């Protein structure tokens, strides 16, 4: 009897326990359902859809090597899976477990109607595996990380299973007809240039192997946006082209401090899932009290504030490091982590706009947009999270820019400033050399800082 493998953010064959279990049980029918209903407000954004297209296309080729196929369907996952089971006579659906609140709900409901076999496979360890002394899940990163390092020895990576084909193949949509790629205007040129043909498991692993040559320098280079000092694995991990276990395993020969710090970053990804498993609405609501709508300047209530939000989105704030980051994001679907922190802090503390607006923008523009990682990081920066920076710790974008040597980065992403040398490029307005075509600062740093602190104090009283 054929076995259905239901794929979501796990677009690979290697180290895929659902594929492995299905292949043992019978002929395999792998299906991806493009579902814009179940996620509700977190329907996949534009940049993610672009990535998804290429990722699905790579998986089609990988399955082709096994004389197998990827069946594409569009609609509500529950309905499409039931339909496919009816058409093929399959009774069992295998899938990797996902933890976004909408998937948890859907998985629960599906179990009532189908034989849904869920497998763990997209995280180092399933959320909830490591627990505090009192048996609860961790809330704070550092003890969580220590417990994860204690718990993990090594991983057995599942090889690609051998797949047998069903007697006949069900119908599939045509990937091109899903229109995941932009038509006109074609905004994806920057993404094509930045990411090249790096999609799918083999390309991602090859890229990672190259990266391992410099992982010993990770600690030193990961904060410098001008250079390629991080692995850029985030979209591959988000879409599950690779599992974090595969990366951890590929690093087993590496013992440098850089390699350990890299592993700690992979643990951040697990930590973020661990947080949303405990607080499913973490992506839409502050964890801490006192940071509701009234605390913030609301773009929906004022045209001026809306314009400030748009200036931030378009990289027109007059703060070069923030603008370079936001332009990098819009062009490539990715932004350097240090700059993500600076740009996020700017929206939240300099403009006093609720982090949820930033989360939404990132959701639509990042190729690695991830419910858990996005929310956990936004809440960390804003000081509203379960484990977070304090609201009153306000990043100074201009000194951050100098400290992390962002001159070349700014010159690359802001053509208006391409001719300015260091230190002028970090703050052309202050140095009296701001070109006319680059905007003035949307608000002075000192003024913004005082406003944020004043709002905080007033809110406490
Ligand atoms: P590397 O430095 O090479 O790290 C390796 C991997 O570790 C990453 O691919 C990622 O999977 C994981 N990782 C590293 N840092 C973090 C972190 N802080 N939190 C969670 N996982 C981490 N990351 C996302 O994957 N999706 C998001 O939607 C996302 N939104 C963010 C929003 C804000 C405001 C901030 C400050 C950070 C966000 N991050 C998000 C985390 C981080 O910026 C990216 O994971 C990282 O920049 C990806 O680049 P890389 O693969 O080169 O990272």
Q: Check if 232 has its Cβ closer than 6 Å to any atom of ligand 1.
A: yes
Same domain flag for 399 and 453: yes
Cross-strand pairs, 116: 93
pLDDT at 183: 84
Same domain flag for 92 and 151: no
Contacts of 183 (CB under 8 A, 6+ apart): none
CATH number of the domain at 72, please. 3.40.50.620
pLDDT in tens, 318-333: 999 999 999 999 999 9
Confirm whether 417 is domain-assigned: yes
Same domain flag for 331 and 391: yes
Nearest to residue 246, comparing CAs of 151, 369, 123?
123
pLDDT band at 268 (very low <50, low <70, confident <90, very high): very high
ipTM, 2 dp? 0.99
**What is the percentage of the chain residues whose pLDDT exceeds 90?**
95
Contact 132, 124 (CB under 8 A): no
Confirm whether 187 is domain-assigned: no
Q: Which residues of 294-329 are buried (b: 16+ CB within 10 A; e: fewer)?
A: ebbbbbeeeeebeebbebbbebbbbbbbbbbbbbbb
Cross-strand pairs, 70: 30
Report the separation in Å between the CA atom of 64 and the middle of ligand 1, taken as the mean of its atom positions. Answer: 32
Contacts of 122 (CB under 8 A, 6+ apart): 9, 10, 96, 97, 98, 240, 243, 244
pLDDT in tens, 300-353: 999 999 999 999 999 999 999 999 999 999 999 999 999 999 999 999 999 999
pLDDT at residue 401 is higher than 80: yes
Peptide bond preceding 185: is omega within 30 degrees of 0, i.e. cis?
A: yes
Q: Check if 381 has its Cβ closer than 6 Å to any atom of ligand 1.
A: yes
Nearest-atom index, ligand 1, CA of 335: 47
Query: Residue 103 is inside which H or E element, if any?
Result: helix 101-113
Same domain flag for 452 and 303: yes
| Atom 32 (ligand 1) nearest CA | 374
Same domain flag for 298 and 432: yes
pLDDT at residue 461 is higher than 80: no
The residue-averaged pLDDT of 128-152 equals 96
Two tokens at 454? 């004043």
pLDDT at residue 436 is higher than 80: yes
Domain stops at, among 278, 301, 336: 278
Confirm whether 31 is domain-assigned: yes
Confirm whether 453 is domain-assigned: yes
CATH number of the domain at 399, please. 1.10.579.10
pLDDT at 325: 98
CATH number of the domain at 127, please. 1.25.40.80
Report the separation in Å between the CA atom of 353 and the middle of ligand 1, taken as the mean of its atom positions. Answer: 22
Going by the annotation, the residues of the binding site for FAD are 218, 230-234, 262, 368-370
Two tokens at 291? 């940071």
The residue-averaged pLDDT of 282-290 equals 95
Angstrom distances, CA of residue 83 to CA of 33, 78, 107, 117, 155: 12, 9, 16, 17, 36
pLDDT at 184: 81
Same domain flag for 307 and 273: no
pLDDT in tens, 39-98: 999 999 999 999 999 999 999 999 999 999 999 999 999 999 999 999 999 999 999 999
Confirm whether 142 is domain-assigned: yes
Confirm whether 394 is domain-assigned: yes
Helix-helix angle 320-332:355-365, to 10 degrees: 40
pLDDT band at 111 (very low <50, low <70, confident <90, very high): confident
Beta carbons within 10 angstroms of residue 288's beta carbon: 13
What's the CA gap between 449 and 441, in Å, rounded? 14
Peptide bond preceding 411: is omega within 30 degrees of 0, i.e. cis?
A: no
Contact 259, 149 (CB under 8 A): no
Domain count, the chain: 3
Same domain flag for 63 and 30: yes
pLDDT band at 148 (very low <50, low <70, confident <90, very high): very high
Query: Residue 73 is inside which H or E element, if any?
Result: strand 70-74
pLDDT at 170: 98
pLDDT at residue 113 is higher than 90: no
Look up the domain containing 256 and give its range. Answer: 123-156+200-278
pLDDT at residue 432 is higher than 80: yes
Query: Residue 265 is inside which H or E element, if any?
Result: helix 257-278
Confirm whether 288 is domain-assigned: no
Same domain flag for 27 and 38: yes
Nearest-atom index, ligand 1, CA of 234: 9
Q: 240: which DSSP letter?
A: T
Same domain flag for 101 and 240: no
pTM: 0.98
pLDDT at residue 175 is higher than 90: yes
Report the separation in Å between the CA atom of 360 and the middle of ligand 1, taken as the mean of its atom positions. Answer: 16
Domain stops at, among 249, 278, 307: 278
How many alpha carbons fall within 13 Å on the CB side of residue 391?
27
Nearest-atom index, ligand 1, CA of 236: 9
Contact 106, 78 (CB under 8 A): yes
Same domain flag for 69 and 128: no
pLDDT at 243: 98
Going by the annotation, the residues of the binding site are 218, 230-234, 262, 368-370
Mean pLDDT over the full length of the chain? 96
Confirm whether 134 is domain-assigned: yes
pLDDT in tens, 190-244: 999 999 988 999 999 999 999 999 999 999 999 999 999 999 999 999 999 999 9
Same domain flag for 423 and 450: yes
Same domain flag for 333 and 250: no
């Amino acid at each position: 009897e054929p076995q259905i493998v239901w794929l979501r953010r796990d677009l690979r064959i290697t180290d895929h326990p659902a594929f492995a279990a299905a292949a043992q049980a019978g002929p395999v029918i792998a299906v991806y359902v493009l579902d814009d209903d179940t996620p509700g407000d977190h329907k996949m954004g534009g940049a993610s859809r672009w990535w998804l297209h290429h990722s699905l296309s790579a998986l089609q080729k990988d399955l082709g090597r096994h004389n197998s196929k990827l069946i594409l369907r569009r609609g509500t996952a529950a309905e499409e899976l039931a339909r496919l089971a009816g058409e093929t006579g399959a009774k069992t659906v295998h899938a990797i477990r996902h933890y976004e609140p909408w998937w948890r709900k859907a998985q629960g409901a599906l179990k009532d109607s189908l034989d849904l076999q869920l497998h763990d496979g997209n995280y180092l360890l399933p959320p909830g595996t490591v627990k505090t002394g009192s048996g609860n899940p961790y809330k704070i990163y550092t003890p969580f990380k220590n417990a994860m390092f204690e718990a993990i020895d090594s991983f057995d990576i599942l090889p690609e299973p051998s797949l047998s084909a069903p007697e006949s193949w069900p119908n599939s949509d045509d990937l091109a007809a899903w229109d995941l790629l932009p038509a006109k205007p074609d905004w994806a040129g920057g993404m094509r240039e930045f990411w090249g043909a790096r999609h799918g498991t083999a390309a991602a692993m090859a890229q990672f192997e190259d990266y391992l040559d410099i992982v010993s320098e990770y600690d030193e280079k990961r904060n410098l946006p001008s250079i390629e000092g991080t692995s850029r694995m985030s979209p591959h991990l988000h879409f599950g082209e690779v599992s974090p276990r595969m990366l951890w395993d590929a690093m087993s020969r590496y013992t440098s401090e850089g390699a350990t710090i890299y592993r700690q970053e992979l643990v951040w990804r697990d930590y973020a899932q661990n947080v949303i498993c405990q607080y499913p609405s973490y992506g839409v609501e502050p964890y801490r009290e006192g940071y509701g709508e009234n605390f913030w300047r609301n773009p929906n209530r004022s045209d001026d504030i809306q314009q400030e939000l748009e200036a931030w989105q378009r990289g027109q704030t007059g703060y070069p490091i923030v603008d370079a980051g936001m332009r990098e994001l819009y062009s490539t679907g990715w932004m350097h982590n240090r700059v993500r922190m600076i740009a996020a802090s700017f929206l939240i503390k300099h403009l006093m706009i609720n982090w949820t607006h930033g989360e939404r923008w990132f959701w639509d523009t990042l190729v690695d947009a991830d419910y858990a990682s996005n929310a956990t990081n936004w809440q960390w920066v804003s000081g509203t999270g379960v484990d977070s920076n304090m609201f009153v710790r306000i990043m100074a974008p201009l000194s951050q820019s100098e400290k992390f040597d962002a001159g070349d980065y700014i010159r690359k992403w802001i053509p208006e400033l391409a001719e300015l040398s260091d230190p002028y490029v970090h703050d052309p307005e202050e140095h009296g050399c701001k070109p006319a075509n680059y905007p003035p600062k949307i608000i002075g740093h000192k003024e913004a800082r005082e406003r944020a602190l004043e709002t905080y104090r007033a809110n406490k009283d």
